Amino acid sequence: MAAIIEVNGKFYPVKDETVLEALERSGVEIYSQCKDGYCGACKCKVANPEAVKHSDDILAAFDKENEILTCSSKVLDGQTLVLKM
């Protein structure tokens, strides 16, 4: 099943990649400084954090009920992740 990211009413397909990689590939501008989940610069607010799987080795602080680190999160198959950007 496909995974999708919604940003401001626009939908972007996700391949086997992180949220950050999918957004960059789709031309969506997002601030980031890392790709390993250490700094937290790519933190985004989300409407449905249950739609992603986080990497197990995240060291940055974030509110897991309202935010994700796009560099180390993957959208689950069949889910649409809604970003608040």
Domain count, the chain: 1
Instruction: Please check whether residue 83 lies inside any domain of the structure.
Output: no
Instruction: State which H helix or E strand residue 81 sits in.
Output: strand 80-84
How does pLDDT run across 60-83, given as a tens digit for each residue?
778 888 999 998 899 999 999 999
Instruction: Please check whether residue 84 lies inside any domain of the structure.
Output: no
Alpha-carbon distance of 64 to 15, in angstroms, equals 23
At residue 37 the predicted structure's pLDDT band, cuts being 50, 70 and 90, is: low
pTM value?
0.88
Residue with tokens 């935010």: 67
Q: Which domain holds residue 65?
A: 3-77
Q: In CATH, what number is assigned to the domain containing residue 31?
A: 3.10.20.30
